Structure 1
């Protein structure tokens, strides 16, 4: 049985209104998402505007095929990390 490759993606320029569930919901449109985490400031509780998504190889390839990802008006900066 072949092992499934897992990709960790950095997602920058997130709107401050996006939380873990919204980030996961957006990327699930492209396939299986293992984790989706937005980074929050511990003192203020506000989003720092970036997060991380781990996904399968197939999901990553589907994400990569799309030229531009937009969430609530912000163009996302997505990089493999």
Structure 2
């Protein structure tokens, strides 16, 4: 989802996205696979609860290029396993 924050992050050279509302079944590999269609993914990370080992429902993607970041943020919405994702520039 493109936003004023996306433009600011892009201008600073940041290519990291926060991905919220992830289905608890999505793995880091699946998250990377989905976002790799927008550009080369340098790293992906789903955050897990240390106690339960279950996904906390969010993660991060880092693109190796600004093009990948721009392609992902310019898409109006993202869905994974039927769920609408919350895609925003990650806080630095």
- Shift, 1:6, TM fit: 4.5
Counterpart of 1:67?
76
Unaligned 5+ segments in structure 2 are 1-12
More helix as a share of residues: 2
Query: What is the aligned counterpart of 1:57 among 52, 59, 66?
Result: 66
For the residue of structure 1 that corresponds to 2:46, the secondary structure is strand
Q: Which runs of 5+ in 1 are unaligned?
A: none
Report how many residues are paired: 77
Aligned CA-pair RMSD = 0.9
Matches within 5 A, 1:36-55: 36-55=44-63
| Structure with more of its chain in strand, by fraction | 1
CA separation in 2, counterparts of 1:79 and 1:45? 25
What is the alpha-carbon distance in structure 1 between the residues aligned to residue 83 and residue 66 of structure 2?
25
After the TM superposition, list the runs of 4 or more consecutive aligned residues in structure 1 that deviate by more than 2 angstroms: none
